[in-house]
């Protein structure tokens, strides 16, 4: 039993169970540990990956040798293959296209047992700089409409390797969730001539009961209509539609809050599997997104099973209210 809340970012309704309102002890959190074997992301194993496409390394070291601080390589098992031409085909009622896209892996540091939360802020800053650099690079290809940056940590969150890494996929389509957010942001802007995300940041920052952390350039909070328990949004205070417009100063701020949020989650939820995704506007959009859309990050610890009800209906039941979740996260001793 609980409230039914509307997410103003997606116009999605969510049942928030304010009665159960589980704390971390209400979940059977799966250990994120994965299998051993030779790690292809450790220094010295560079030959186990496809050749690097980007690296933070001193100029006196050769590509695909040790000495790097971050290293980006094509995914060995890509979801999409980079075929030279995008072809669309119809087959009766159906439509398809060939799987054109790049799929890359950013290795975030040299230490096998340090996750993103454990890296020092300076290293997190380097990682975010790689996100920006690779997004800009992949975004130059006109076949692509979107660059998706996401992280899977732990088996239950879809990771298959332990060594801390982020993935990038460039896509010839805009993902559904982004289209939904864009439509919603457009409707809000048409009505109010304000950005819905700017209004949310302002309201959360005043209300404070769902806030997890804040700094000069960012606010982190558990969203009002969280679909899953302990979900966290990190939203820049300054209105910018595209992630790649982030400045050096903002990157520094982002590194601080990202590390802090991940560390709070690690402590409060005992190192849970999680995913995060950077939501940004499509490449080569029609321009009016810049007024109404606002890039942000969605962080989702993987605590409960998504049942058929949720998945098949698009209607979520969340057994922990964001007010309770943010309290645990704020109070975590980090």
Provide, rounded to whole angstroms, the least separation between the CB of residue 241 and a second copy: 17
Question: What strands lie across the sheet with 165-171, from one edge to the other?
Answer: 54-56, 70-74, 103-107, 165-171, 146-153, 274-279, 296-301, 232-236, 218-221, 211-214
The answer to whether residue 84 forms part of the interface with a second copy (CB under 8 A) is no
User: Contacts for 249-252 with beta carbons within 8 Å, 24 or more apart?
Assistant: 249/217, 250/217, 251/125, 251/128, 251/129, 251/132, 252/121, 252/125
> Which residues neighbour 325 within 8 Å (Cβ) at sequence distance 6 or greater?
222, 226, 229, 230, 231
Q: Among residues 51 and 314, whose Cβ is nearest to a second copy?
A: 314
Q: What are phi and psi of 242, to 5 degrees?
A: -110, 130
The CA distance from 281 to 242, in Å, is 5
Q: Among residues 55 and 100, whose Cβ is nearest to a second copy?
A: 100
The CA distance from 7 to 83, in Å, is 38
User: How many residues belong to the site for a second copy (CB under 8 A)?
Assistant: 72
The answer to whether residue 5 forms part of the interface with a second copy (CB under 8 A) is yes
Q: Among residues 30 and 64, whose Cβ is nearest to a second copy?
A: 30
| Contact between residue 295 and residue 236 where contact means Cβ atoms under 8 Å apart | yes
The answer to whether residue 31 forms part of the interface with a second copy (CB under 8 A) is no
> Which parts of 203-242 interact with a second copy (CB under 8 A)?
203, 207, 224-225
Exactly one of 64, 69, 199, 271 binds a second copy (CB under 8 A); that residue is 199
Provide, rounded to whole angstroms, the least separation between the CB of residue 181 and a second copy: 10
> Which parts of 131-150 interact with a second copy (CB under 8 A)?
148, 150
The answer to whether residue 93 forms part of the interface with a second copy (CB under 8 A) is yes
81: its two tokens: 């293959």
The CA distance from 299 to 217, in Å, is 18
> Which parts of 270-329 interact with a second copy (CB under 8 A)?
274-277, 279, 298, 300, 302, 305-315, 317
Exactly one of 173, 208, 216, 249 binds a second copy (CB under 8 A); that residue is 173
The answer to whether residue 152 forms part of the interface with a second copy (CB under 8 A) is yes
Q: Among residues 270 and 311, whose Cβ is nearest to a second copy?
A: 311
């Amino acid at each position: 039993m609980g409230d039914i809340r509307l997410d103003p970012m997606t116009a999605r309704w969510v049942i928030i169970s304010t009665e159960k309102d589980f704390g971390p002890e209400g979940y059977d959190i799966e250990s994120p540990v994965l299998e051993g074997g030779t790690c292809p992301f450790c220094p010295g194993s560079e030959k186990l990956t496809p050749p690097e496409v980007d690296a933070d390394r001193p100029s006196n070291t050769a590509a695909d040798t040790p000495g790097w601080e971050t290293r980006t390589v094509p995914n060995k098992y890509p979801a999409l293959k980079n075929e030279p031409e995008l072809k669309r085909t119809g087959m009766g009622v159906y439509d398809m296209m060939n799987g054109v896209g790049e799929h890359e892996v950013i290795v975030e540091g040299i230490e096998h047992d340090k996750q993103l939360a454990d890296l020092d802020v300076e290293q997190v800053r380097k990682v975010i700089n790689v996100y920006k650099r690779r997004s800009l690079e992949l975004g130059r290809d006109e076949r692509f409409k979107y660059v998706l940056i996401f992280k899977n940590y732990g088996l239950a969150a879809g990771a298959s390797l332990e060594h801390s890494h982020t993935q990038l996929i460039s896509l010839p389509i805009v993902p559904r969730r982004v289209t939904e957010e864009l439509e919603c942001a457009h409707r809000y802007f048409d009505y109010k001539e304000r950005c819905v995300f700017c209004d949310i940041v302002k309201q959360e920052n005043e209300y404070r009961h769902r806030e997890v952390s804040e700094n000069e350039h960012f606010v982190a909070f558990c969203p009002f209509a969280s679909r899953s328990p302990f979900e966290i949004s990190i939203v820049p205070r300054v209105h910018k539609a595209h992630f790649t417009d982030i400045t050096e100063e903002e990157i520094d701020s982002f590194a601080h809050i990202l590390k802090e949020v991940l560390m709070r989650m690690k402590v409060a939820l005992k190192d849970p599997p999680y995913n995060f995704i950077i939501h940004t506007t499509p490449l080569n959009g029609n321009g009016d997104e810049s007024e109404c859309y606002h890039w942000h990050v969605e962080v989702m610890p993987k605590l409960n099973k998504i049942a058929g009800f949720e998945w098949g209906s698009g209607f979520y039941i969340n057994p922990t209210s964001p007010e309770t979740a943010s309290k645990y996260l704020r109070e975590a001793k980090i």
